Amino acid sequence: NNLAKRRHVDDPTCVFCGEQESISHLFFDCVVSKLTWNLISDILGITIGSDFESVGRWWISTNRHAAHDIVSTAILWTIWPYRNAICFQGKQWRNAQELWNGAIAPCRKWKILCREKCSLELEQFIRAMERRQSELLRIAWR
């Protein structure tokens, strides 16, 4: 039942895969994060998501990458509350697709921050993310 699956507060393991959790594990090294970043790299056409530096490098480079930046921020922005909902609110971990869908929502919301060219580019990324949702279904244990 749900109560049996509720985590102990001192549980040091990753809510997604059960390995030892750390910040870098959660955001980058976990099998769930890795798969997510691999797909994102493919969609954006850049290599991103091996660590914070690989993401931050694009943020500080130039404005031309605004659409990339929104997508990568949305991934980071989604992982943390998703993990916390499982940790502290007894939410059930289902699969990486749910996390992925959670990241599409802020991308859509943040489109208003874009000028025309960025907005078109972001729309392409969002559509690609929607098309590739099913590739995340296979990551669904714990």
- Write out the residues near Zn ion by the rule CB under 5 A: 14, 16-17, 19, 30
CB of 70 to Zn ion, least distance (A): 25
Q: What gap in Å lies between CA 7 and CA 47, rounded to an integer?
A: 34
Alpha-carbon torsion angle 113, 115, 121, 122, nearest 10 = 10
Q: Specify the residue, 30 or 44, whose C-beta has the smaller distance to Zn ion.
A: 30
Q: Which residues contact 12 (CB under 8 A, 6 or more apart)?
A: 20, 21
Residues 41-76: b if buried by 16+ CB within 10 A, e if exposed:
bebbeeebbeeeebbeebeeeeeebbbbbbbbbbbe
CB of 61 to Zn ion, least distance (A): 29
Q: Specify the residue, 37 or 58, whose C-beta has the smaller distance to Zn ion.
A: 37
- Is the CB of residue 17 less than 8 Å from the CB of residue 25? no
CB of 42 to Zn ion, least distance (A): 21
Q: Specify the residue, 16 or 27, whose C-beta has the smaller distance to Zn ion.
A: 16
CB of 87 to Zn ion, least distance (A): 13
Q: Specify the residue, 15 or 129, whose C-beta has the smaller distance to Zn ion.
A: 15
